[in-house]
Copies of this chain bind each other. A is one copy, B any other.
Amino acid sequence: MEFASPLLTDLYQLNMIQVYLDHADTETAVFEMFVRTLPPRRGFLLAAGLEQALDYLENLRFSAAEIAWLQGTGRFRANLIDYLADLRFTGDVHAMPEGTAFFANEPILRLTAPLPQAQLVESRLINILHFQTLIASKAARSVLAAPNKLLVDFGFRRAHGAEAGLMAARASYIAGFAGTATVLAGRQFGIPLFGTMAHSFIEAFDDETQAFETFARLRPDNVVLLLDTYDTEAAARKVVALAPRLKAAGIAIRGVRLDSGDLVALSKSVRAILDQGGLEGTTIFASGGLDEDQLREFAKAGAPIDGLGIGTDMTTSSDVPSIDCVYKLQDYAGMPRRKRSEKKATWPGRKQVWRQYDADGRMAGDLLSLADHQKSGEPLIHPVMLGGRRLQPVPSLDDIRRRAKRELECLPGPLRELTPGATYPVEVGDDLIRLAADVDRRMQSRVQDSDYDSHGGSDHAR
């Protein structure tokens, strides 16, 4: 993986690690990653990005040049520099498999490691898991809105950088897209590739029919002609006129693409022109600023569209460009911890999510409990890395995609139908509620007892 630098972190992590080393605070910490609240337009989320997160942890190391640079900043003492120079990730990871549907407050990843390691990796772990989860969750909406349509990721160019474009191809494929236009995603992940021609191709010829014919003769295996450079219906008639000449050469026009205008009306008129011209087998592919809301309108309007290129809206998750995904300390040195900031309080301790299903196999509700308390239902969180090494077998991308498909099928009706405001029941177990109260009492008694004075800190000053 590119962008593996451990300097992809926030400066405060290094400052805190310096203090932890100086203060001998290097005991085991447990952090969990979860989403605090679901955005209004997301009834569920789809976990994605674990593969890249584990890659990052497994390969975590500072290069000699990075260590020299850190030293050169003058910010850090020799003990930190030495610590980082030798650093490998030695912790454990428990996680929900990629492709799992999840909800607010449910951990998708738990990391157990010496505090400095757990702190260093926070920023990049969130960065990896947040983005792919964001995009898989967004792409799943198009998949649900347009079942049985061919959906293709067209969104590399306006994704937020190279990694975003590449990982959006992966995340949308997990969610059920048929493939992507991004060539590197084909090479890196084996995702099927789609794409034929742009408007500039048509414009590079003085004559539109000549452009169509040249393309068809030179790329005869996959002839999809772009109709809207000048006049969509006129172009459809040119396609009909051209078809017999191509047929004589053994070339079929597999499809046409519409990229602008009123796509419902144009798909109907183009379908009629193609059908009247004997091109019933030529499919219609639509693109151009599409999102799941439009896909539902196309379905309602009976637009004869067979496939859709979904671009910027999906790769930027434009209606919800971020989710409130956090990574919080749950336990340190054997003591459960929690944050009580206004509207940001967390449940302490290592947790498990237990999923209930109804008689039809539909998801019926989740229970959040402490990890070591056995409850009924399917546990969603499993060990995936122990002592810094990934557990085998690692699921393939197609395994993950199949899991996501099953998850989407098992969603309750209102979530499948993207009904605004639809919710899903997540119960917080009594054990967690009791533990939170215990932690609060412990902190409270510390505050009341507190005779903490200069003595408390004096032996750490240097």
A: which residues have CB within 8 A of B?
2-3, 5, 7-16, 18-20, 22-23, 25, 29, 31, 66, 69, 73, 115, 119, 122-124, 126-128, 130-131, 134, 154, 156-167, 181-184, 186-187, 193-201, 203-204, 206-210, 213-215, 217-219, 222, 228-231, 234, 245, 249, 259-261, 312, 316-318, 321-323, 325, 328-329, 332-333, 335, 337-344, 442-443, 446-447, 450, 452-454, 456-457, 460-462
Contacts and interface: CB of A to CB of B under 8 A. Distances in A.
B203 A338 contact: yes
A210 B331 CA distance: 18
A387 to B, nearest CB: 22
Contacts of A130: 157-158
A382 to B, nearest CB: 25
B127 A457 contact: no
A186 B222 CA distance: 47
28 contacts: A2-B3, A7-B183, A7-B184, A8-B162, A8-B182, A10-B195, A12-B197, A19-B201, A19-B215, A123-B156, A127-B157, A127-B161, A131-B159, A158-B323, A161-B162, A161-B163, A164-B164, A203-B337, A203-B339, A204-B333, A206-B442, A208-B447, A210-B457, A213-B456, A229-B341, A317-B321, A318-B322, A321-B321
A123 B200 contact: no
Contact of A230 (B119, B229, B316, B443): B443
Contacts of A201: 16, 19
B181 A12 contact: yes
Given A123-B156, A213-B456, A245-B453, 4 more contacts: A20-B204, A199-B329, A206-B335, A261-B343
A451 to B, nearest CB: 10
A230 B338 CA distance: 9
Contact of A29 (B19, B160, B204, B231): B204
Nearest to A348: B203
A39 B343 CA distance: 32
A322 B19 contact: no
B15 A162 contact: no
